Amino acid sequence: MLASFNTAGLITSADVHVATTLGRLGREDDDTVLLAIALTARAVRAGSICLDLATVTELPVAEALPWPDPVAWAGAVAASPLVGLGVLHWEHGLLYLDRYHEQETQVLHDLTARAASTPSYDPVVVNAALDRVFGEGHGEQQAACRGAAGQWTTVITGGPGTGKTTAVAGLLVALHEQAQAHGQGLRVALAAPTGKAAARLEEAVHGSATGFAEADRARLTGLSAMTLHRLLRPLPGNSTRFRHHRGNRLPHDVVVVDESSMVSLTMMARLLEAVRPDARLVLVGDPDQLSSVDAGAVLTDLVRGYEGRPDSPVAALRTTHRFGPEIRALAEALRLGDADAALEVLAAGHEAVEWVTDADPASQIRATALPAALAVRDAAVAGDMPRALAALDRHRLLCAHRDGPYGVHHWNRRIEQWLATETGDPLHERDYLGRPLLVTANDHALRLYNGDTGVVVATPEGGRRVAIAGSGPEPLHFAPSRLGSVETMHAMTIHKSQGSQADVVSVLLPDVESRLLTRELFYTAVTRAQQRVRVIGPEPAVRAAIERQAQRASGLRVRLAGR
Per-residue three-class SS string for 285-319: ECCCCCCCCCCCCHHHHHHHHCCCCCCCCEEEECC
> What pTM did the predictor assign?
0.84
pLDDT value at 470 more than 70: no
User: Are residues 211 and 66 both part of a single domain?
Assistant: no
Residues 155, 313: contact at Cβ < 8 Å?
yes
pLDDT tens-digit readout, 283-319: 999 888 777 667 778 898 899 889 888 889 999 888 7
Q: Do 174 and 222 belong together in one domain?
A: yes
Domain boundary among 276, 297, 322: 322
Domain residue limits at 60: 1-97
- Has residue 11 got a pLDDT over 60? yes
What confidence score (pLDDT) does residue 279 get? 94
| Predicted confidence (pLDDT) per residue in 104-161, tens digit | 999 999 999 999 999 988 888 888 888 888 877 788 888 999 999 999 999 999 888 8
Between CA 286 and CA 314 the distance in angstroms is 12
Q: Is residue 114 part of a domain?
A: no
Angle at 224 between CA 483 and CA 262, to 5 degrees: 70
The pLDDT, as a whole number, for residue 373 is 93
* Residues 197 and 297 placed together within one structural domain of the fold: yes
Verify that 372 and 311 share a domain, yes or no. no
Question: Between 211 and 332, whose confidence is greater?
Answer: 332
* Whether residues 68 and 159 fall in one domain: no
CATH classification of the domain holding 77: 1.10.10
pLDDT given for residue 472 in this prediction: 62
The verdict on 295 and 363 lying in the same domain is no
Asked, for residue 557, whether it belongs to a domain, the answer is no
Q: Give the pLDDT score at 134.
A: 84
Q: Are 224 and 232 in contact (CB under 8 A)?
A: no
- Direct distance between the N- and C-terminal alpha carbons of the chain, in angstroms, rounded to an integer: 38
- Band of residue 473 on the pLDDT scale cut at 50, 70, 90: low
pLDDT in tens, 228-271: 888 998 888 776 788 999 999 999 999 999 989 889 899 999 99
Same domain, 75 and 154: no
Are 202 and 194 in contact by the 8 Å Cβ rule? The answer is no
Domains: count for the chain: 3
- 117 falls within a domain: no
Residue 342 has pLDDT above 60, yes or no: yes
The answer to whether residue 76 sits within a structural domain is yes
Q: Position 205: which residue type?
A: V
Final residue belonging to a domain, choices 300, 322, 344: 322
- Assess if residue 530 is contained within a domain: yes
One domain, residues 235 and 342: no
**Does residue 315 share a domain with residue 333?**
no
Checking phi first, is residue 259 left (phi over 0); if not, alpha (psi -120 to 50) or beta? Answer: left
pLDDT band at 201 (very low <50, low <70, confident <90, very high): confident
Tell me: do 398 and 510 sit in the same domain: yes
* 484 found inside a domain: yes
Does residue 81 fall inside a structural domain? yes
- Same-domain status, 204 and 273: yes
Could you say which of 279, 302, 322 is where a domain stops? 322
pLDDT digits (tens, 9 = 90+) for 389-435: 999 989 999 999 989 888 999 999 999 999 989 888 887 888 899 99
The answer to whether residue 116 is domain-embedded is no
Measured CA to CA, the distance from residue 183 to residue 194 in angstroms comes to 35
353-367, 461-475, 480-494: range with lowest mean pLDDT: 461-475
Tell me the C-alpha distance between 420 and 434, whole Å.
12
Write the CATH number for 304: 3.40.50.300
330 and 315 inside one domain: no
